[in-house]
Amino acid sequence: MNAETLELPIRDTRIAELSVKQVLPTPAWFLAARGDELPRGAPLARAVNGVPVVLYRDSTGRVAALEDRCPHKNVALSLGRVRGDTLQCWYHGWRFNRIGVVVDVPCHSPTEKIPACAVRAFPAVERDEWIWVTLGADGAPAEPPSYPRDDAYGWFELQNVIHAPVDLILENGLDCSHTGFAHEGLFRSAPRDDIRARIEETATGVRVETLDEHSAGAKDVRSVLGRRQQIRHVDEVILPHTLRVDYWIGDHAHVVTILVATPEDEFRTRVYTRMGVRYGWLTPLVTRYVRWVTQKVVAQDIAILNSQGERIRRYGRREFRNVTADLPAAWMQRAFRGFLDGRYPSGPLRTREITYKL
Ligand code: FES
Ligand SMILES: [Fe+2]
């Protein structure tokens, strides 16, 4: 077989035909990595919405994102190495530039041209120390979201892999009624007070404000931070993968949480959590304390979500029974399903107030 005949089928196929199914069937920017996880010179493998993606920095430090499968023999490109502005496959050394085009085939014949093939390249943006990737389908916003870190706050970040789907992780973050049990003594205790919650659909998801909450009598993080103060607490899901939680305690304390969940496959999700704490001159100390509590609380939530994911997978589907305290999660689920179908919001945005024991 000469080089001419070899080239023919390859020349017709610039980008591979095969692709893997995306977990969330919707265009969006997904959080692929923290900036400091991607040093220059070393590629990083990630699964982004179910698609294998390799990230690397070119010679200027700019992030490139390619599908993590070599078009030659389908080895993961992330096993290779960064050479200047290109990524070189480990197997036969083919090199690809940041737009995915093959620029070198080291073992070519003297008469052979480089085959006209490429891997998919994805838009990647580094913003506020996070690297966002969109898989390129039409309809994603022009830019990824921005979550800057205000200097008046103390900041820390967590990253966890949870064996549960994205929506159950968002639901968990929105669900106050588990906290007195799953996090007893650390974050709330057995339900005691009637509290009200206002649930609102927003243009981008669902917002839940917990009303009438105060720290008096609490034997947990709220009493340490608040000492009999009024608490203002808002949870907001920004579809399809983000949860923002704000606690304002008294006049001067504020704790903000941004959680972004990136599906790696249907039952495996990488969760990035960025938390900011403002507490006057005690901010550095209180940030360390909140970090300590948060790590314990998150470990409890992960154990629960892993169990929930395992049971749902084993039984083949979900079968939930909702009570009033589950309405924030139920509204979130309705919005989430609608968003994935491309019909959220579909009409006037709804609001509802509920009362339950917390
Ligand atoms: S499999 Fe990548 S160069 Fe051969
Ligand atoms: Fe929890």
> Which atom, in ligand 1's list, is nearest to the CA of 75?
1
- Taking only the tens place, the pLDDT of each residue in 243-289 is 999 999 888 899 999 999 999 999 999 999 999 999 999 999 999 99
Q: Amino acid identity of 115? A: P
Residue 1 confidence (pLDDT): 35
- Taking only the tens place, the pLDDT of each residue in 118-133 is 999 999 999 999 999 9
Residue 227 confidence (pLDDT): 67
Nearest ligand, CA 186: 2
Distances (CA, A) of 218 to 77, 106, 234: 52, 67, 19
User: Predicted confidence band at 217 (pLDDT cuts at 50, 70, 90)?
Assistant: low
Answer whether residue 92 shows pLDDT above 90: yes
User: Predicted confidence band at 219 (pLDDT cuts at 50, 70, 90)?
Assistant: low
For the Cβ of 76 lying below 6 angstroms from any atom of ligand 1, the answer is no
Residue 231 confidence (pLDDT): 85
Measured in Å, residue 227 CA sits from the centre of ligand 2 at: 22
Neighbours of ion ligand 2 (CB under 5 A): 301
DSSP labels for 226-280?
HSS-BEEEEEEEETTTEEEEEEEETTTEEEEEEEEEEEEETTEEEEEEEEEEEBT
Answer whether residue 142 shows pLDDT above 50: yes
Residue 9 confidence (pLDDT): 39
178 and 172 in contact (C-beta within 8 Å)? yes
Most informative mutation of 67, 86, 92 for ligand 1 (most atoms within 8 A of CB): 92
Answer whether residue 235 shows pLDDT above 50: yes
Q: Which domains does the chain have, with CATH numbers?
A: 3-134 (2.102.10.10), 154-357 (3.90.380.10)
Q: What percent of the chain has pLDDT over 90?
A: 77
- Taking only the tens place, the pLDDT of each residue in 156-176 is 999 999 999 999 999 999 999
- Taking only the tens place, the pLDDT of each residue in 14-58 is 777 888 999 999 899 999 999 999 999 999 999 999 999 999 999
Residue 313 confidence (pLDDT): 97
pLDDT (average), residues 124-148: 92
Signed CA dihedral, 110, 116, 118, 123: sign only: positive
